[in-house]
Structure 1
Amino acid sequence: MVTSAQLQILQSPITSLISTISSSVTVKLDDFNYLTWNFHIELLLEGHGLMGFVDGSHPCPARFNVPISEGSSVPSSDVSSSTESDEFKVWKMHDRALMQLLTATLSPSAVSCAIGSSSAYDMWQRLKEQFSIVTRATIFQMKSELQNIKKGSISIYLQRIKEARDYLFVAGVQFNDDDIVILTLNGLSSEYNTLRSIIRGRENVTSMKDL
């Protein structure tokens, strides 16, 4: 007989996601692609209402249903007489299934980092701490690259600037819109002089999206 807890895990979106994860997320997390991996995984989890397991907003419920002492309104202190709650069983099964799902998107080096995780939240934090860290030398290099990007195709040029800004943002380095716009304009050739003059003469700061 299928219990209510087992039925809920069978109906969980995680069950079907595990079998299709290789086609849903083609990126395997490694030392160089945390930003791309994180983007794909967050979209997947948010799209299926599962983000709470990894961001801590859907924590593990109490494990036991604590019985009330006879003739008293106070819960009994006798843990041996307590039973595991269905809420805990369901949460635990969902959480373990989600850990399996995340593991399927990891490279061998990332799997070794995840081993020993006690929950999906714990695994998420370990991976973030390990792979989102960017060294000071790398930050310096990325800043230099951002300032030295030159225009080829205008669409590729703007995309490269956005990618560099996004990677620096993950590393904790933030740029104001006006700083990014200035960097972008400085990399344009003389054919864009009119555009540069118009944008620099605007009273309000132009966002990267508007640019």
Structure 2
Amino acid sequence: MTIPVSKIETLLGVLTIKLNEDNFVKWNYQLESVLQRYDLYSHFDGTSVCPSKYVITESEGVTTELTEDYRHWIQIDKSLLSLLIATLSDEAIEYVIGCKSARDAWLSLTDRYASVSRARVNQLKTELHTIHKGGDSVEKFLLRLKHIRDQLSAAGFKLSDDDIIIAALNGLPQEYDMIKTVLIARETPIALKEFRAQLLSVEKNIES
């Protein structure tokens, strides 16, 4: 059962991320998670179809009276559209002006922000292959790699854990040469979680 219309506006309190040029993946993840929790995401992905608008009777056929299902569906959809708009930056709002439904607004935003241009994809791939840890902590370095991975994923380019590990190893400074040698010589793959743990351990030893 879907959440009552009166309750939808209360969801804004948990939707803390406003969509802008650089955070579509995070914004989408939060929005989708919250709406799926309350069985409302179907208005965005198109699986919830608008019911018949007018009442049909045997004596009159199609009347001008609106069906209760239609009234309720429209109330829910307009409330979700308002909720969606409230999570947008001033720039992002420009792409939903004129949209009549939550689905239309969602498609417009996805087309604008999830469809990364070829030039942007090539830039992200270059960043992946040339990234260096520098003065960042291991945690921050891996988060930078994850950010690149997420953006490529949103554009339809999937990266494996091995791709991320190789990129990370190439970007580590000389202090990590020993662990780099050990990991490269491994005959079995290493999980990303274990890889992170080993780098954090080396970082701790270096600091001490």
Query: Which TM-score band applies after superposition, normalised by the shorter structure?
Result: 0.7 to 0.9
Tell me the equivalent position of 1:173: 157
Check if 1:199 corresponds to 2:179: no
**Could you tell me which of 101, 107, 115 is aligned with 2:83?**
101
What letter corresponds to residue 134 of structure 1 in structure 2? V
In the aligned structure 2, how far is the partner of 1:171 from the partner of 1:25? 23
Q: Which moved more, 1:136-145 or 1:200-209?
A: 200-209
**Could you tell me which of 53, 64, 68 is aligned with 2:43?**
53
Tell me the equivalent position of 1:121: 103
Q: Deviation at 1:91? A: 0.9
- Residues 126-184 of structure 1, C-alpha deviations (whole Å, 9 max, x = no match): 11111223222222222222222222311111111111111111122222322222111
Counterpart contact for 1:56–1:121, Cα < 8 Å: yes
Tell me the equivalent position of 1:162: 146
Counterpart contact for 1:181–1:207, Cα < 8 Å: no
In the aligned structure 2, how far is the partner of 1:190 from the partner of 1:119? 55
Superposition RMSD in Å: 2.5
Tell me the equivalent position of 1:29: 19
**Could you tell me which of 53, 62, 87 is aligned with 1:63?**
53
Q: Deviation at 1:114? A: 0.6
Q: Equivalent residue of 2:94, what SS? A: helix
In the aligned structure 2, how far is the partner of 1:204 from the partner of 1:54? 42
TM normalised by structure 2 equals 0.80
Percent sequence identity over matched residues?
A: 33
* Unaligned segments of structure 1, at least 5 residues: 1-7, 70-75
Equivalenced residue count is 193
Counterpart contact for 2:55–2:62, Cα < 8 Å: no
Q: Deviation at 1:206? A: 3.0
Tell me the equivalent position of 2:203: none
Q: Deviation at 1:20? A: 5.6
In the aligned structure 2, how far is the partner of 1:197 from the partner of 1:66? 75
In the aligned structure 2, how far is the partner of 1:57 from the partner of 1:209? 36
Counterpart contact for 1:30–1:107, Cα < 8 Å: yes
Q: Deviation at 1:44? A: 1.9
In the aligned structure 1, how far is the partner of 2:192 from the partner of 2:52? 47
Check if 1:135 corresponds to 2:126: no
In the aligned structure 1, how far is the partner of 2:129 from the partner of 2:89? 32
Tell me the equivalent position of 2:9: 18
Q: Equivalent residue of 2:95, what SS? A: helix
Counterpart contact for 2:53–2:66, Cα < 8 Å: yes
Tell me the equivalent position of 2:168: 184
Tell me the equivalent position of 2:199: none
Counterpart contact for 1:177–1:205, Cα < 8 Å: no
Q: Deviation at 1:43? A: 2.1
1:31–1:191 CA distance, 2 compared to 1 (3 A): closer
